[in-house]
Amino acid sequence: MTTLRGAAAVALVATEASQAAVMGPATYNLLQQNYVGTYMPQLLPTLGVLALLVFAVACLLVALGSDTPRPPRLVRLAGSTTLGCYVVHMYFTLPLSLGSWQTLYASLPERLGYLPGLLVQLAWLLGAPLLFQLSVGAVCHKLLMLEMKLLLAAGGAVARMVARVAACVVARVAGCAAGMRCGGKSSSANAAGVEMRSQRDELDARSVQNFTI
């Protein structure tokens, strides 16, 4: 199991490195929306990048192992702030994208030796985006989610206010209808009482008349 997890970790690093150093630059133009005037990204390069990302996630899961109750905190932070990092990353330029830094990056194996230079290149290649996502990307994600939370809270407050107003209107309409029914019943009872008193007075008058005769 330890060997499998180690192999998965190596495959994860190799996949990310190839994606950032080889596949990414080679497919960057193909993924742009203005490629050869089509205004649509090319399907096969997009699917290829997606497959590599899915493979990297699978390697990460195997490397962490099933006995890990929860991923490390930094892994959770990087995974939960992807949206904000994706939204804001296009407004920043990492040093490696600049010409002078590219020259320095390419000359590292000659300056430091092949293996040390390669390790520094690998650390730079993977560390710079990771540092960006855990700092700038995380902050922008929190701000983006704060905006959504404020909008949802405002919408919930409006919905509750509308519900209270509707409940008050329904209660008043129901009260008026009940009052009208009670008023109609009272009028009928009063009319019946008047009629009974009239009949009783008429009977009393007849009784008096018969007694007089």
Is 184 a member of any domain? no
Q: What's the domain range around 44?
A: 1-69
- Does the pLDDT at position 209 exceed 60? no
- Amino acid type, 55: F
Per-residue pLDDT, averaged over 54-74, amounts to 78
Query: How high is the pLDDT of residue 25?
Result: 67
DSSP assignment, residue 1?
-
Query: How high is the pLDDT of residue 28?
Result: 67
Query: How high is the pLDDT of residue 211?
Result: 47
pLDDT (tens digit per residue) in 160-202: 999 888 888 888 877 776 665 655 445 555 555 556 666 666 6
45 or 179: which leads in pLDDT: 45
What's the half-sphere exposure (Cβ side, CA atoms, 13 Å) at 106? Answer: 7
Nearest Cα to Cα of residue 93 among 141, 138, 132: 132
**What is the token pair recorded at 126?**
């993977």
Burial of 46 (0-12, 13-18, 19+ CB in 10 A): middle
The answer for residues whose C-beta is within 8 angstroms of residue 136's C-beta and 6 or more apart is: 85, 88, 92
Is 64 a member of any domain? yes
Is 36 a member of any domain? yes
- Place 126 in a pLDDT band, splitting at 50, 70 and 90: confident
Is 46 a member of any domain? yes
Is 12 a member of any domain? yes
Is 76 a member of any domain? no
Number of domains observed in the structure of the chain? 1
The reply to whether the predicted model has a pTM over 0.85 is no
Is 18 a member of any domain? yes
pLDDT (tens digit per residue) in 193-208: 556 666 666 666 665 5
Location of structure tokens 């209107």: 169
